[in-house]
Structure 1
Amino acid sequence: MLNVPRSLFDLPDDVVYLNAAGAGPRLHRVNDAAREGMEGSARPWAFDMHMWLDRIESLRQCTAATLGTAAEALAFIPSASYGEAIAARNLRVEAGQKILLMAGEYPSNRTIWQRTADAAGAHCVDVTPADGERWTAALLRHIDADTAVISAVPCHWTNGAPVDLTAIGDAARRNGAALVVDASQSLGALPFDFASIQPDFVVSAGHKWLLGALGLGWLWAAPRWREEGQPIEETWLAREQRDQFGGDSAVPPPYRPGAARFDAGGTAHPVSIPMAEAAMNQLAQWEVDGVARSLQALTQHLDQTLAARGLSALITPDHSAHFTALRLPDDRLDAVQRAFADAGIVCARRGSGLRIAPHLHTQTRDIDQLVAVLHDAL
């Protein structure tokens, strides 16, 4: 495990925060960057546009290096749903085809595809695993020549149940389907193998495992879409000759090379950019592999401690390395949730369970406290 002091995070001593899948714990250095950005934005007379644009590109490059991809593949977006809308604008869906969705997925990953299917005369299919079946097998069972788009995730947002995206990507290419991935629940916490998966688009919020600001996330675009993709707005930041405002009214300037054509207007925010920069620099120091190993040690400790207490039935089987959920009986959910709240344990109720999502501030003693409170509340 990485030896990360809890003091790096802005967390009270009496709070056991286990909801990194909802909002990442805030680093003090990210808070400091926010304050500095706010103070700087109050002095517009001292603002240097060229230095600011260089700083934005530096963040793009740092993010690419940290996540294991190329800077030209990344675009700034305000939310995962914005990125999904870019994917929907560019991917071809024809009448009679189907779009595969994972049952119970987050609404932002569903509604844009429902609207897309309706407009094209296609239809959405909610993929639900059969008893004992994993998500990967369920998705593979539905992918065929009629599939236009597969909307998938590295792990289900409610309980960390994993999806083998490399296998899904292979099946998508064999059948001529596009693959769109919302990696908000893994990017920054688990390695993402862009080269093996070969998705069309990957989107991610920036305020979860990337530890940045709400309102600034990322879109990854495959090489084809970096060359021919159409954004959903026409911000000046996404065009060449960004410092020339009096161009030809008949012919817009060309898009910037790569995925920068998809950059959203307003994401070059004087507060959120420095926050993301501070968070990404810290992730780069830790390295995503190191974060993943440390979080896996914590979730393994949770599973082992539950088993030692005779609570193995509550464990989500084969969950992802970085988070899981407690599968509680319906008649005990409220009581356990109240007990956790009384003990200062913060987690999220998702579906029929309580999601447990630690981060590097979490200690094994926090996990031990959670299991002790759980045991007494059942």
Structure 2
Amino acid sequence: MRAFGTEFACPPGYLNTASVGIPPAPVAAAVAESVERWRTGASRPGDFDAYVARSRAGFARLLGVDPGRVAIGASVSQLVANVAAALPAGTRVLAAEGDFTSVTFPFAANGATVTEAPLEALPARVEGHDVVAVSVVQSADGRIVDLPALRAAAEAAGAAVLLDASQAAGWLPLEVAWADWVVAAGYKWLLSPRGSAWLVVRPDAGERTRAVAANWYAGEDPWSTVYGLPLRLAGDARAFDLSPVWLAQVGAAAALEYLGGLDLAAVAAHDVGLADSLRTELGLPPGGTAIVSLDGDPERAAAAGIVSSVRGGRVRVGFHLYNTADDVERVLHAFG
């Protein structure tokens, strides 16, 4: 099918982008070409530097920051660990109840005192905490944190903020450059291969971030830091780079450049429009999010040709670029 200016091989009823996004044809082709070069011995390590630079710049463009503020990695938890490991033991971290554990586990494992609060009450609970760590869009049900209220509360309380944009970046226009740290995985709404992730570090937050997996690629010039001491890391957020997953970065470079050329307001209108039309037909209030959480039998959904996930005992569906009103009708047939 063709959608938003490109081709997708997305089957009808695929509503599982919140787990795994479907790449546009050019993204899949770029990865396939790189696999072929690898298979035939044509690849050289230095060839992949350009893809890393492109993916870094693409993610920076989506979030409205300078590429020098962006570190690359393979997963959210890896990158959050750079933040959690730098905090003194006993640091008071506020998190949302039931948030994805890649956001909360690194803090709990590194000695922080983590307190959970209902998502809607998070801004009101910031006082008395040192850090707030929360997903912009909740993985389980698509609820969106009140970012303006959270920003105001954090600034008033002097608390730092880490945002996980994994379920938001790619469909929701974001203005989050104010946050101390923003992290996201690429394999969901960003339509990139698994093994690509990014961490945005606000300049003044760099000294409160630790390169827990310092490596050759985190050097100012990676090819001059492959051997020997002393420690010599880059002077910007690249100091927190993880050694890149090459094929994932090839796909991410193409995917982020494609997404960067779209009007994200139009993408959000499409995604949320489909999600809210489903909610309306089911007698539910609009949610304003691309993710819908439903009571129902997962086996019945599968029998109707719906690819979805089960989160919190409920069927989770998500609508992205390649979904249509036919997908809404398929869900209504199964649940209506």
2:306 aligned partner, one-letter code: I
Q: Secondary structure of 1:362's match?
A: coil
Aligned to 2:242: 264
**Offset of residue 178 of structure 1:** 1.4
CA change 1:245–1:224 in 2 (3 A) is: closer
Aligned to 2:141: 159
Q: Secondary structure of 1:69's match?
A: coil
Contact 1:299 1:322 in 2 (8 A): yes
**Offset of residue 147 of structure 1:** 0.5
Contact 2:63 2:175 in 1 (8 A): no
Contact 1:93 1:149 in 2 (8 A): no
**Offset of residue 56 of structure 1:** 2.2
Query: Are 2:212 and 1:232 equivalent residues in the alignment?
Result: yes
1:103 pairs with 97, 100, 108, which one? 97
Superposed CA RMSD in Å reads: 2.3
Query: Are 2:300 and 1:339 equivalent residues in the alignment?
Result: yes
**Offset of residue 189 of structure 1:** 1.1
Q: Where do 1:5-16 residues align within 5 Å? A: 8-12=7-11, 15-16=12-13
Aligned to 1:287: 263
Distance 1:220 1:297 in 2: 29
Query: May I ask how many residue pairs the two structures share in their alignment?
Result: 335
**Offset of residue 42 of structure 1:** 3.4
Aligned to 2:3: 4
CA change 1:234–1:367 in 2 (3 A) is: same
Aligned to 1:17: 14
Aligned to 2:48: 52
Query: Are 2:80 and 1:84 equivalent residues in the alignment?
Result: yes
Distance 2:73 2:229 in 1: 28
Q: Secondary structure of 2:72's match?
A: strand
CA change 1:244–1:124 in 2 (3 A) is: closer
* Structure 2: tracts of 5 or more residues without a match: none
**Offset of residue 229 of structure 1:** 3.6
Query: Are 2:293 and 1:325 equivalent residues in the alignment?
Result: yes
Query: Are 2:117 and 1:127 equivalent residues in the alignment?
Result: yes
Distance 2:226 2:213 in 1: 19
**Offset of residue 241 of structure 1:** 3.4
Distance 2:159 2:88 in 1: 10
1:98 aligned partner, one-letter code: R
2:163 aligned partner, one-letter code: V
Aligned to 1:374: 335
CA change 1:149–1:66 in 2 (3 A) is: closer
Q: Deviations over 1:26-65 (max 9, x none)?
A: 322222112111122235566272x532342133223322
**Offset of residue 301 of structure 1:** 1.7
Q: TM-score, normalised by structure 1?
A: 0.81
Distance 1:7 1:59 in 2: 19
Distance 1:160 1:99 in 2: 22
Aligned to 2:231: 252
Distance 1:192 1:207 in 2: 18
Distance 2:225 2:134 in 1: 40
Q: Secondary structure of 1:147's match?
A: coil
Distance 2:147 2:279 in 1: 25
Distance 2:223 2:138 in 1: 43
Aligned to 1:176: 158
1:361 pairs with 316, 322, 330, which one? 322
Q: Secondary structure of 1:66's match?
A: helix
CA change 1:342–1:45 in 2 (3 A) is: closer
Distance 1:207 1:244 in 2: 31
Distance 2:222 2:140 in 1: 42
Q: Deviations over 1:174-216 (max 9, x none)?
A: 2121111111110111011024xx2111111110000001011
CA change 1:84–1:250 in 2 (3 A) is: closer
Distance 2:174 2:65 in 1: 9
Identity level (%): 26
**Offset of residue 225 of structure 1:** 3.0
Which has the greater radius of gyration?
1
Aligned to 1:297: 273
CA change 1:373–1:9 in 2 (3 A) is: same
Contact 1:161 1:318 in 2 (8 A): no
**Offset of residue 149 of structure 1:** 1.5
Q: Secondary structure of 2:319's match?
A: coil
Q: Secondary structure of 1:219's match?
A: strand
